Structure 1
């Protein structure tokens, strides 16, 4: 539970500080457990359609000097990080979804 809360916090924090809210002022958080694979999916949607510097964030080796920050925690907990453009029902880009997949345990 603590790991899920920490990673969800980092994804939401990134959406607020580096993304942008939807027109109604929201970002969306979803937590889903896959019963078959026993993985936890943490997803955050925001209205910014890009993720500049994603390769630098996603390809961390779990080693950090100094204080761990941001999405480093996904790698630390043996998770995988990805993102994709979020589209509306008509196929228009409306933002992005950032997803962390973590082993449950």
Structure 2
């Protein structure tokens, strides 16, 4: 699948080949508390997985991406928001993926073209730039190939 949009030299959504070192996924009720609920679940998972990056920042990125679905995108009919955390290797990047039912990302190009200092602090996406991460999105398709929404992906580096 060819990516729709990308930024910060990200080659589109990163595809995971083989079995990742760690993988965690969940679906949470899409309400005004989704960001805080996901932060409570992500922090212990990243700690137990011993991800070598900044766990506090990664936790905040997850919360903001989930909040953005409720505030700016569209929920799936079951009113939940899906999140995946993937560590392709034990000491590498963390891939955060969030799915929603809106097959567009209004304002994406403006948000990511704010310059090398990152996205404006008024957006939750600022945390991706703060972590020196990359942000991308692509259309989400069902098994038959029909577009059902999008996946937003933040790739966060491990600590040096």
Give TM-score, length-normalised by structure 1: 0.89
Hey, which of these two has a bigger chunk of strand by percent? 1
Once the two structures are superposed, the pairs formed by residues 13-52 of structure 1 within 5 Å of their partners are 13-35=67-89, 38-52=92-106
User: Is 1:11 matched with 2:81?
Assistant: no
Matched with 1:62 is 117
Structure (1 or 2) with the larger CA radius of gyration: 2
Matched with 2:136 is 82
Once the two structures are superposed, what CA deviation does each residue of 1:67-93 show, in whole Å capped at 9, x if it has no partner? 553101101110000000000000000
User: Is 1:93 matched with 2:147?
Assistant: yes
Shift of 1:4: 1.1
Q: In structure 2, do the counterparts of structure 1 residues 81 and 63 end up closer, same or farther at CA, with 3 Å as the change threshold?
A: closer
Task: Kindly report structure 1 stretches of 4+ aligned residues shifted beyond 4 Å.
Answer: none
- In structure 1, distance between residues paired with 2:142 and 2:118: 38
Shift of 1:64: 7.0
Which consecutive residues of structure 2, in runs of 5 or more, have no partner in the other structure? 1-54
Once the two structures are superposed, what CA deviation does each residue of 1:37-90 show, in whole Å capped at 9, x if it has no partner? 70000010000110011012223322577x553101101110000000000000
Q: In structure 2, do the counterparts of structure 1 residues 63 and 47 end up closer, same or farther at CA, with 3 Å as the change threshold?
A: closer
Query: Is the contact between residue 58 and residue 82 of structure 1 (CA under 8 Å) also seen in structure 2?
Result: no
- In structure 1, distance between residues paired with 2:129 and 2:85: 18
Aligned length: 104
